[in-house]
Amino acid sequence: MATVTLTKDNVEDVIRSDNMVILDFWADWCEPCKSFGPTFEKVSEDHPDVTFAKVDVDAEMELAQSFGVRSIPTVAVLRDRVVLFNQAGALPESALESVVEQGKAVDMAAVHDEIARNDQGGEGTATA
């Protein structure tokens, strides 16, 4: 599957409509981002069941801030609107593959149960 461009205008539709979304926060001037881009594209082709989306931090500053992006590239993984992973740095292909597989393996019922318990205790959630 080809990557999609994520913007403030389509973020709700993309996150709401897909079970798992992998985000790449990048900028055109960022050399590590340029190096990571082909890796992100290749892994996206290997996982047609996952949405891979790119966020240009210069064009979408608010969106990047909402995900706590402080350095680029940053990769984030969401499932069922919950952020499971958020890490700065260009990942090698094997590491990105591992992140995708680990994201797929997460027991989301258990995650939602824990979020509900935390909500009852007055703590914040990890939802996007």
Q: What is the pLDDT of residue 122?
A: 56
State the catalytic residues: 30, 33
- Note whether residue 127 is domain-resident: no
* Phi, psi (deg, nearest 5) at residue 123: -90, 160
CA distance 35 to 24: 12
| CA end-to-end span of the chain | 23
Asked if the structure places residue 96 within a domain, the reply is yes
Tokens representing 6 are 């994520």
Which residues pair with residue 87 across a beta bridge?
Answer: 75
Instruction: Indicate whether 81 belongs to any domain.
Output: yes
Residue 125, pLDDT score: 47
Within-domain flag for 68: yes
Domains identified in the chain, total number = 1
pLDDT of residue 2: 73
- pLDDT, one tens digit per residue, over 53-84 is 999 999 999 999 999 999 999 999 999 989 99
pLDDT, one tens digit per residue, over 106-117 is 998 898 888 888
- pLDDT, greater one: 92 or 124: 92
Which pLDDT value is given to residue 118? 86
Q: Which pTM value belongs to this model?
A: 0.86
Nearest to 56 by CA among 95, 32, 38, 30: 30
126 located within any domain: no
Residue 95 lies in a domain: yes
Structural domain range at position 8: 4-120
Q: What is the CATH number of the domain that holds 107?
A: 3.40.30.10
Angstrom distance (rounded) from CA 109 to CA 113: 6
Q: What is the pLDDT of residues 4-51, one digit of tens each?
A: 999 999 999 998 866 899 999 999 999 999 999 999 999 999 999 999
The CA angle 51-47-78, to the nearest 5 degrees, is 40
